Structure 1
């Protein structure tokens, strides 16, 4: 009787943990969309300055947390290596993405970055031995199709949204940076999942912010483009930084509680939320392609959530 009672309890805990991961992933997408919306209100500040403020806020926000937890390092060497990989790849991915947005149309950059979704499932299957089902592949393809329709990259839909100011050289470099951001994001997602709950999210965000801060300082000093932003830009940058902080915390917790593949695809709902916020706050009416793409992404998210519950109940 005791064993029969404990078995359903274990299944229930696993199901609840899986759903918690998906819920945290969707919440992180909300804050990521807010962060994106706030960036559109910048007037003078550039990508370097926005990233610098983001790392500054995250770094000093995590200092008291680490002091309270008295945790500055991990004793396990293997876990330390995984932490280093996760924090550095996250920092480089964020930097590469923001720089690619200055050289590419936003649609191109988003479409290229979205390729990290199937890469996460592939890396998780290879390194974490997570099951890779046919349904996972189908939902990943569905999400990617939705992202492409929402982003409408010019190299697929024509040159209607192509920026005339972009040159061939800068576009090529932008594509390389966006591709690097996608690859690094996939590696970071799997590394965070590998750490699991062995590393507190505050420790990961501390080193993530530290490496990002160093990268931004080097970038600003090398380009010599340090300027003092206006008060409105400072307010927007700090609000965006706090939204990014909440997004990073929620993503880390989501990956620690749910499978890397489903959590990552749920995070792609950020694209849908961005268009919703744009409609209500900036009066930007989405096109038919955007509506169809948003529907495909949400269908993929709902399907993965249902599949996760079903598989947890079977085990």
Structure 2
């Protein structure tokens, strides 16, 4: 690690402080809650930074990159589903607290935006769940980090009304550019078989940066690394081929939710990667595969990088 002058810097994190910090090679971080130590050696002066209990490392975006926290299927309110409607191991899952932690992670990382691929709420959400979600979103947007979302199939009328009352930006059937960044977002809400065949709005799309399509449904036709078609048994799978063919710009990444197992796939016949976010809490019958997480999307002038961050 090097300081802002390029001098080598040693960062020591003590196990007793129980700090869970991930580092990305080549990234820039702003450190706080640390003690500095400078000492001379036979070869010059060494500088160390040692952690304290208040240690934090905030990732700082450089001028030529945009960092976005991506998540989906948070299902706030899931714990209120009837006990018979979920497996025994999932009955104590508190998706509301995890939702707040996701947004706390965004603030700690200092990302440029948060993107949600739908099912912010579970269909059994309560007023307390909605109030907690509003607080997390408002606090994050208030810290200068915009929040973008599409609706999922579990986002009921109460949840959608709540989201509309927040300072978040609904991407459904429109485009939006992450402020002063390389990323342009286009969103389509939960549609199933009625997924649109043409792009609803081209006003902001087609930038020289990275264009990200955010949806919720299982896209079709999508293949894994072996070329095998996926999600064929989903009766509401979204046919995105005609939609993509109608665009006057390149789609560089499709972000989707709905499937509670995260994956990297691609659109058949198109060189477009597909990120299935997976859930932030273990709410699927595929418990062993769900691995709740968020994703850090880093866009630069040379391309995209995705880093999975377990919850």
With the length of structure 2 as denominator, give the TM-score of the two structures.
0.25
Q: Which has the higher contact order (CA 8 A, sep 6+)?
A: 1
* Higher gyration radius (CA): 2
Q: Which has the higher helix share?
A: 1
